[in-house]
Amino acid sequence: DIQMTQSPSSLSASVGDRVSITCRASERIGKYLNWYQQKPGKPPRLLIYAASSLQGRVPSRFRGSGSGTDFTLTISSLQPDDFATYYCHQSHTLPYNFGPGTKVDI
Amino acid sequence: EVQLVQSGGGLVQTGGSLRLSCAASGFTFRGYGMSWVRQAPGKAPEWVAIISGSGRSTYYADSVKGRFVISRDNVKNTLYLQLNTLRVDDTAVYYCAKDTSPTGADDDPVWDSWGQGTLVAVSS
């Protein structure tokens, strides 16, 4: 199985900060990497697919990059609505594992 | 507007069974692969099972293989998950999720719409 790791596991930031979250796959997965945002009591929300493609109606302050084994989600200017947990997810190989998550709070 | 409305779930004892349903609307259901994803309290989501648009191919996580069955009715526009031989570690919120791609494939799943989630609690 492909294992996904994320760093940091949590971070504290302020409105307006630039935030970066790293995701690493245990094997090369090309660009089959997706990012989801989740708030308490809600299902995950797709932000980025295929490593760098922005899902419709997702603000442009979210940016994904990377390929192979190393990927990054960057929020250019953190907004109050962005405080949430972020998960990477590989869609390259069964089983389609998620990373452990990064919680972004104040 | 895409809608996925879940039903089923609840409290069950170890070894019991449940069936989850996910009623879809707002898109051509048979054209899309569908998945079930679960999330235990305080944990990351875990992919459980996937089914192609036609329903002819299915795949499962090792943790549920042989116990859970994913199926779909493309006339009723409904996705199902039959949960059998339930264990305490199956306790989670279960979500149905729709793939972004209209190919109906069962690979490279990217989920752009999700159900509201339904809690399955297994007690010993």
pLDDT, tens only, B10-21: 999 999 999 999
pLDDT value at residue A54: 98
B103 band by pLDDT with thresholds 50, 70 and 90:
confident
**Residue-wise DSSP of chain B:** --EEEEE--EEEETT--EEEEEEEESS-GGGS-EEEEEE-TTS--EEEEEE-SSS--EEE-TTTTTTEEEEEETTTTEEEEEE-S--GGG-EEEEEEEES-TT--SSS--EEEE---EEEEEE-
pLDDT tens-place string over residues B69-82: 999 999 999 999 99
Q: Looking at per-residue confidence, does B89 or B102 come out higher?
A: B89
Q: Which two tokens stand for residue A16?
A: 């307006």
Contact A36 B97 (CB under 8 A): no
SS3 A82: helix
pLDDT value at residue B107: 83
Contact B110 A97 (CB under 8 A): no
Taking 90 as the threshold, does the pLDDT of residue B124 lie above it? yes
Taking 80 as the threshold, does the pLDDT of residue B104 lie above it? no
Contact A97 B47 (CB under 8 A): yes
Lowest pLDDT segment from A67-81, B70-84, B93-107: B93-107
What's the start-to-end Cα distance of chain A, in Å? 34
pLDDT value at residue A101: 98
Q: Which residues of A touch B97 (CB under 8 A)?
A: 43
